[in-house]
A and B are shown apart, each in its own frame.
Chain A
Amino acid sequence: MTHDRERFTTMYDECRQRVWAYVVSRAGRQVADEVVSETFAIAWRKLHDVPQHALPYLLGIARNVLRENIREEARREGLAGELRDWVAGDVAEQVAERLGVLKAMARLTQDERELLILVVWQGLSPRAAARVVGCSVPTFRVRLHRARKRLQQEMDQPTAATMSRFDLSRELS
């Protein structure tokens, strides 16, 4: 039991903020603490099944918790607020390119954005990330490649169709 507690605490310290950041990028800060708390409660009960490299496993749990415990409407609202923050931010500190990428990210679909976040911001391997989103690695690679191309496209020349994808298009344009 002592050993379990130690292992769990180490895992928590290593991964907590990463799980939080993932949840925030999916549903905003409002619900993030609640989802993270529940994620680790589940992880504790399943501790003996949690692999050594725990992050992908934890992100997978968080993804389920988000889907099952948080209403879609709340998720969407939270996300809209979060994306608005990305592109508003601290004006002084925002460099033009940085802003361009984040605006482009905000215009992607939820799924496209998630793949890029898992791989680029969370540093997951395609295999680990595929496990989080529940698809095969080959499928993941194709989707990732598409998402990356879409990001580039949105950075180069955003289209009218995607500019209006979110309610926040006005703030973004």
Chain B
Amino acid sequence: MNPIDDLRAARPAHLGDSPVDEHTRRAELAHAMSQGAPASRRLKISRPVWGLSLAGTAAAVTAVAVLGGGLGGGTAPRAPSVAVATSPVTATTKLSAQEVLLVAASNAEKQPATSGVYWHTESVSRTLMKAVAGYTVADETRSRSWVTANGVWGSTQQLGVRPATDADRQAYEAAGSPKGIEVEVPGKGKITLSTQDRKPYASHLAGKEIFWLGRNVTMADLKGLPEDEAGLKKWLLKHYAGHDTESDRPMGEDAWLFQTTSGLITDMPVSAKVRAAAFRMLAALPSVTTAGEVVDGQGRSGTAVAIESDSQALKGDAKGVLQTRLIIDETSGAALARENVVVTPGGFQKEFEAGTVWNSSWIVKAEWTDSRD
């Protein structure tokens, strides 16, 4: 039995949702409202970032966990839609996903081994939102991390929110180029986001379990990963129980493997052989398809391999379908980005057309270095 379910059921009765007694209620409300009028509004700094954050650390999979409602729901993976929308496709599909991944695998294997004091990754993630004024804005975060066997140092910077396209910029300027842009967050109401970059904030997490592969793993765990696809799959599936690791949300086996392995391929310092095994393992998953050649948000071209999932829906909303894709440069076996593309609008993406790249995380750096700057 899941300890979380046990814990939920064990909440002491007095900590439950019983109403407050009327005497206390009146006294507390009166006390609060006797403090003068509420102060005038200041620009809010809180923002709803669902982005793929801190690549390279245990958080590699945050986004999928946060936004993918019922990834490959149930134990059977979701069948790919007939018409998969892929807006920035520059060429029609030439190779199957399997072929692309196998090419990537053999090229990954040829990469020379490197080493250093810190495993360093840098990524930029971006999520689209609808401004109340109607145009679309992009909310971006730059994350950097330096990992050793005993901990991870991170630096995260929220970049100012900005209009997503030229047309959006025109609409924004027509609205007077406000310093704060009001956006509507599904289920949370309206908030105002600043167009100014914020200061980076640093974090440090001490501990050996610093990566996430369906569970927390250590640098030593990564070194010990099986170098063949069957062994790797078995290793990963050891902790698969039909649901997401941090919740009881049902998740199909393929989706689960795609999620955990994407993190391994994009962010983690694994050997060339393990990386190749990861590509080969993905190639063998029946519900992984190719979305063809794409150009990512940093102008780099690569091939996308993808899996579809139901999107997270709010109460009363219809679920949509999201495509989660991994963009790889198969000639080097390197991962360039992870993206979520709207296939069928719904849930958090109901305002966006099919084909919109709703959320991306671009891997800018993933390398060993000797200094932390």
A residues sitting closer than 8 Å to B (CB atoms) are 1, 4-5, 8-9, 12-13, 16-18, 20-21, 24-25, 33, 36-37, 40-41, 43-49, 51-53, 85-86, 89, 97-98, 100-102, 104-105, 116, 120-121, 125-127, 131, 135-139, 141-142, 144-146, 148-149, 151-152, 155
Contact = CB atoms under 8 A, between A and B. Distances in A.
6 contacts: A41-B32, A48-B38, A105-B10, A121-B8, A145-B212, A148-B4
B200 to A, nearest CB: 11
Contacts of B20: 16-17, 20
Nearest to B55: A138
B100 to A, nearest CB: 29
B38 A137 contact: no
B363 to A, nearest CB: 15
B254 interface: no
A98 B3 CA distance: 11
Interface in B60-85: 62, 65-66
Contact of A136 (B156, B188, B246): B156
A80 to B, nearest CB: 15
Given A24-B15, A101-B10, A139 B205 contact: yes
B298 interface: no
B205 A18 contact: no
A-B pairs with the 10 shortest C-beta distances? A138-B59, A52-B189, A47-B38, A48-B41, A21-B15, A44-B32, A101-B10, A138-B54, A142-B58, A40-B32
B212 A44 contact: no
B42 A49 contact: yes
B223 interface: no
A20 B163 CA distance: 41
Interface of A, helix, strand, loop or mixed by DSSP: helix
A136 B154 contact: yes
B156 A48 contact: no
A155 B6 contact: yes
B359 interface: no
Interface in B5-46: 6-12, 14-20, 24-25, 27-29, 31-33, 35-42, 44, 46
Contacts of B7: 101, 105, 116, 120-121, 151
A40 B38 contact: no
Contacts of B27: 37
Nearest to A90: B13
Contacts of B39: 45-46, 48-49
Given A4-B37, A46-B39, A98-B9, A121 B15 contact: yes
Contact of B28 (A37, A48, A51, A141): A37
A137 B66 CA distance: 11
Interface of B: 3-4, 6-12, 14-20, 24-25, 27-29, 31-33, 35-42, 44, 46, 48-50, 53-54, 57-59, 62, 65-66, 154, 156, 187-191, 201, 203, 205, 207, 209-210, 212, 215-216, 245-246
Contact of B3 (A40, A125, A146, A151): A151
Contacts of A148: 3-4, 246
A47 B66 CA distance: 28
B28 A136 contact: no
B31 A137 contact: no
A104 B26 CA distance: 37
B153 to A, nearest CB: 11
A5 B39 CA distance: 13
A1 B62 CA distance: 41
Nearest to B15: A21
Given A131-B46, A142-B59, A24 B14 contact: yes
Contacts of B205: 139, 142
Contacts of B58: 138, 141-142, 145
Given A101-B7, A138-B154, A142-B212, A51 B15 contact: no
A143 to B, nearest CB: 8
B54 A145 contact: no
A13 B54 CA distance: 37
Contacts of A138: 53-54, 57-59, 62, 154
Contact of A101 (B6, B29, B33): B6
B59 A137 contact: yes
Given A12-B29, A41-B32, A126-B246, A18 B17 contact: yes
Contacts of B65: 126, 141
B44 A137 contact: no
A11 to B, nearest CB: 10
B189 A45 contact: no
A85 B12 contact: yes
Contact of B38 (A17, A18, A44): A44
Given A48-B39, A51-B46, A152 B3 contact: yes
Contacts of B11: 120-121
Nearest to A12: B29
Contacts of B40: 48
B129 to A, nearest CB: 15
A109 to B, nearest CB: 14
